[in-house]
Amino acid sequence: MARFLIFIFLGIVACQSPIPFHKTIDIETETPNRFFEAVSKYMVSKQICVITNQAGIGRLLLVPAIEKRKFPTRLHEMLAYYDASLVKIFTPEHGLSAQEEESGNQHKLKFPVIGTYKLKVPDLTREFESCQEIVFDLPDAGIRPFTYRTIMTRSMRAFEKGNFKRKRFWILDVPNPASYLKAQGPITQKKYFSILGEQEIPFFPYYTYGELALKYYYRHKMK
């Protein structure tokens, strides 16, 4: 059975929510190592794929961390520290640096860098076949017409349709910067669904990625 997990960082407390169950893990390490340390037992000897850009853990592919830390500072080095391997990078609109055209990726890395902006669900399902653990980590803009949120829901559908056994889809939740506005604005209609939005939510949805993922999971009766 495919497993979807929501990972929420609050101070030094990380909440891991395997749908439909919930539990809390207390962690006392620095970001970004909290996630890797907390889930290292799931990552051992696994092939890891990440959906990210420079605002998420993808920044660890572009520049090394300045601070001296106990752990390696490059993303693939961090995973290797836990005997895991990074096999694919999936980027949203404007690539890994968030400064490129549509699905372009100018950065040459030792792993495939795949733009998801123009990929459909069947395409993503095929790309996910070589992934054993998939980590989604992208920033939120707080508004409905945002392609990153669509990448999340399309990836969730692709993951489910693949009927992958013993694989997990991790969502690293982030704050919604417009949550103080509460939910307001017109709700999109299905006939207007596009890469800019495929959920019936208000213009200011109020919810975080993790909350919308839970809503999407239950509404579409994912397994």
Q: Write the pLDDT tens digit of every residue in 116-136.
A: 888 899 999 999 999 999 999
Residue 19's pLDDT is what? Answer: 38
Between 34-38, 69-73, 96-100, the lowest mean confidence (pLDDT) is in 69-73
Q: What does the alpha-carbon distance between residue 54 and residue 139 come to, in Å, rounded to a whole number?
A: 9
Residue 74's pLDDT is what? Answer: 78
Q: What does the alpha-carbon distance between residue 137 and residue 4 come to, in Å, rounded to a whole number?
A: 14
| Angle of helix 147-161 versus helix 209-219 axis, rounded to 10 | 40
- Give residue 7's pLDDT band: very low, low, confident or very high (50, 70, 90): low
Residue 63's pLDDT is what? Answer: 65
- Give residue 3's pLDDT band: very low, low, confident or very high (50, 70, 90): low
Write down the CATH superfamily of domain 3-219.
Uncharacterised protein PF07075, DUF1343 (3.40.50.12170)
Over residues 152-174, the pLDDT tens digits come to 889 998 998 887 877 888 888 88
